[in-house]
Amino acid sequence: MTHNEKRTSWWREGLIGLGVGVLYGTTSVAVGHPFDTIKTKMQAQKGFESSSMYSSFIKTLQTQGIRGLYKGCLPPLMGSGIFRSAQFAVFEGVYTYLDKYDTFGKREIHFTCGLQHRVVIGGLCGSTVRAIIETPLEYAKIRRQTQQEWRLGQVYKGFGVTWLRTVGLMCTYFIIIDHNRRRNPHLFNIPILGPFIVSGFAATFAWWVVWPFEYMKSQIQGGYGNKDLSLIQRMRLVVKERGGVVGLYRGIVPGTIRSFLANGTSMIVMATAQRKVTEWGLRREN
């Protein structure tokens, strides 16, 4: 689904997804981490609660310099390649495996504009694997970005909200990409710009859908606010204190910039890698 190459066996597609996913993940962090740092500070660090994106950026530069924008980048740089690699590997494996079950895998769900079962099932499986791997890495990253120490015994703090966020994020992303690959394949034939725009839009729209959960995840893992509040109570408090539902979208501007640039660039890299895999004959059955 994440490429237009002729598919081979499900396990081979999974292994290929494992490899190219590393490139996607490391590219995403390299391009997007400064914007992610500003977003996290706005959401979960005292002193940045009322700051705009610009003032948060300036404050970070004044107090920490350029290095401050890349604070905490090591865990996601190492981990992003791992969890995105696993995410794409599981999705591609499940998606390709269900490809042979025309009566179920390829069956379109009614009233969904052609959404197939295999996309949803693959998305759920890939998202769950990603959440299991990502939660400890996100915890360590956020604690570093907000200049706090992290504790080994708390690395799965916020797993529930991370899983909800990841399922909504990745299923939405995969659905948009799959829809365009099957219904608008010409978009992916536009060199560089096509994959950049489609992936950048899909990822950014997906982030908008799940942003309140991302906000809550940052607060929970950053230890911000009353630690005894449940997820629903935290969301209600934010709505009450920050001017309504719009308060749940704090940090959306740097998050949007990060998402579009990072995911668009990463898709160019991954699409190129997928073509090279085919050219090198790694999809041929022995």
**Chain segment 220-278, per-residue pLDDT in tens:** 998 887 778 889 999 999 899 888 999 899 889 989 999 999 999 999 999 899 989 99
**Inter-residue contact 200 to 259 (CB < 8 Å):** yes
The CA distance from 125 to 167, in Å, is 9
| Full-model pTM | 0.84
Considering the segment(s) 10-278 as one domain, its CATH architecture is: Alpha/alpha barrel (1.50)
Compute the Cα dihedral for 77, 80, 82, 84 and give only its sign: negative
Average pLDDT of the chain, as a whole number: 88
Where are the chain's structural domains?
10-278
pLDDT tens digit sequence for 197-233: 999 999 999 999 999 999 999 889 988 877 788 899 9
Average pLDDT over residues 168-179: 95
Q: Three-class SS of residue 108?
A: strand
The pLDDT assigned to 63 comes to: 86
Q: How confident is the model at residue 286 (pLDDT cuts 50, 70, 90)?
A: low
Average pLDDT over residues 155-179: 95
Question: What 8-state DSSP symbol labels residue 247?
Answer: G
The pLDDT assigned to 50 comes to: 66
The CA distance from 75 to 1, in Å, is 28
Compute the Cα dihedral for 185, 190, 191, 194 and give only its sign: negative
Cβ neighbors of 234 (< 8 A, separation 6 or more) are: 216, 219, 220, 225
The pLDDT assigned to 251 comes to: 87
Average pLDDT over residues 140-149: 84
The pLDDT assigned to 49 comes to: 64
